[in-house]
Structure 1
Amino acid sequence: MSDRSSIEWTEATWNPTTGCDRVASGCDNCYALALAKRLKSMGVDKYQTDGDPRTSGPGFGVTTHPSALDVPRSWKSPRTVFVNSMSDLFHAKVPKDFIRQVFEVMADTPQHTYQVLTKRSLRLARLAPELPWPPNVWMGVSVENAEVLDRVDHLRSAPAAVRFLSCEPLLGPLPGLDLTSIHWVIVGGESGPRHRPMEASWAREIRDLCLESDKPFFFKQWGGRTPKAGGRLLDGRTWDNSPHSTNTYAHQ
């Protein structure tokens, strides 16, 4: 499986752990579970471990891969890396010592920028004081609807150089969203055969809050049956801003 990524806001993926299970409504149509099933059928070693079919499905049991820890050290040129696109590093079944090892690798490879995203924000908050936080680690939480806004408060406790929100799939409005100490916001609709539609007003409210707060805003997609079905334009333009942007609100 290639480490190059088609995700618009990153360049590569690194999966020292694989597997997950449902924790909220944002997990209902998990792309990683569907992909894991395909990879298992193709004989990819990482996805031969069976999880509980009631929660995680075949080939998606939470598994650590110590042999993958050194992968970033082999990359010659600097990359922006999404950590665990096929898992959640802060899942309860990932040992604390292994999480620390992942962070140590990130600290030892400062040429790369690492983007870590979790739905297990309470465990993140509890473990954050025990982890090294080099400046090349960006920490984010998924925020799909107002029911999980507490994840944003948990994220604020992490001493990451960049703290970001992934509001994807955005399943409802986020009234009361507080962007204090948040440095970046990504918004996207759900894709796949059972996708749930995103209303334009939900995306616009977050976009406008970012504009008012001078926070970079990235609009990933409207979603649909395929990720590109609805396109990427919001009010007639793309929004590709990130903490790397030199001019946050310049038209792309």
Structure 2
Amino acid sequence: MATSSNIEWTEATWNPVTGCTKISDGCKHCYAATMAKRLHAMGNPRYTNGFNITLHPDLIETPLKWKKPRRIFVNSMSDMFHKDIPLEFIKRVFETMEKASWHTFQVLTKRSEYLIEIAPHLPWPPNVWMGVSVENEKVMYRIDDLRKVPANVRFLSCEPLIGPLEKLNLTDIHWVIAGGESGPGARPMEANWVRSIRNQCQQQQVAFFFKQWGGVQKHRTGRILDDRTYDEYPTSQQDYVQV
């Protein structure tokens, strides 16, 4: 459950927890649920429970064995702040991230209310980037919740982007990822939605990463926006770098 990744904005995934439940519009075509169903059918022992929340304590210290620094997406097959995950287990995951200071850990949640509830009980070393998913205007409150978290880097994942996001307040936000939904039944994303997010990032000096146009076959649509790729990453709370 710790592998290299094809996700454009990270280098590896680490899944000490698998499984989740749907809570908002962005979950409708959850890629992780689809993958878990496939892995369960294949007899993968990590998915004996299908997509139900399953803890994998034997994987908690895996990043400590990786000596080469890398960006690691934490729980790509779950949500670290699902209420069915015990706080003590979450603390152990954060302790590993703190120990593995040579890596950068990217944690993403849709459960911002629980995030801010337990954030005071967790260590927040500078190598832990904390993000929230913002797929449409209904969940923009997650941005305000994220601002309350003492992470060194805070980011938004606007994917799948299924509606416009105007009047974004990016104060104390350091990175924004945008991308369209992909796979069977993918909902369309309008180009102007992406341009608006890019422009707002530029106006507010926030790093912008365009992941994909998406669609049923995302490899056909690519990730070029207005004749270029956007591969910006945050370098600190004040700066961003174009890669």
Q: Would you say the 8 A contact 2:2–2:62 is kept in 1?
A: no
Matches within 5 A, 1:3-82: 3-49=3-49, 59-82=50-73
Question: 1:206 is matched with which residue?
Answer: 197
What is the TM-score with the length of structure 2 in the denominator?
A: 0.96
4+ residue runs of structure 1 moved beyond 4 angstroms? 247-250
Which residue number corresponds to residue 151 of structure 1?
Answer: 142
Contact 2:235–2:241, Cα closer than 8 Å, also in 1? no
Three-state SS of the structure 1 residue aligned to 2:92 is helix
Cα shift at 1:236 = 1.0
2-structure distance, mates of 1:47, 1:249: 38
C-alpha separation in 1, matches of 2:193 and 2:232? 18
C-alpha distance in structure 1 between counterparts of 2:125 and 2:241, whole Å: 28
- 2:229 corresponds to: 238
CA distance in 1, matches of 2:42, 2:32: 15
Deviations 1:45-85 (A, max 9, x none): 11111xxxxxxxxx000111111101111112111100000
Shift in Å at residue 175 of structure 1? 2.0
Structure 2 unaligned segments of length 5 or more: list them: none
Partner amino acid, structure 1, of 2:193: W
Q: CA deviation at 1:153?
A: 0.5
TM-score, length basis structure 1: 0.93
2:124 corresponds to 1:133: yes
- 2: CA distance between counterparts of 1:134 and 1:190? 32
CA RMSD of superposed structures (Å): 1.4
Q: Is the CA contact (8 Å cut-off) linking 2:2 and 2:14 kept in structure 1?
A: no
Is it true that 1:190 corresponds to 2:191 in the alignment?
A: no
> Secondary structure, in 3 states, of the residue corresponding to 1:195?
coil
> 3-state DSSP class of the match of 1:236?
coil
* AA at the equivalent of 2:40: K
> Partner residue of 1:110?
101
Deviation of 1:117 (Å): 0.1
Letter of the 2:102 counterpart:
Q
C-alpha deviation, 1:159, in angstroms: 0.3
Instruction: Give the letter for the 1:177 counterpart.
Output: L
* Shift of residue 2, structure 1, vs aligned partner: 5.7
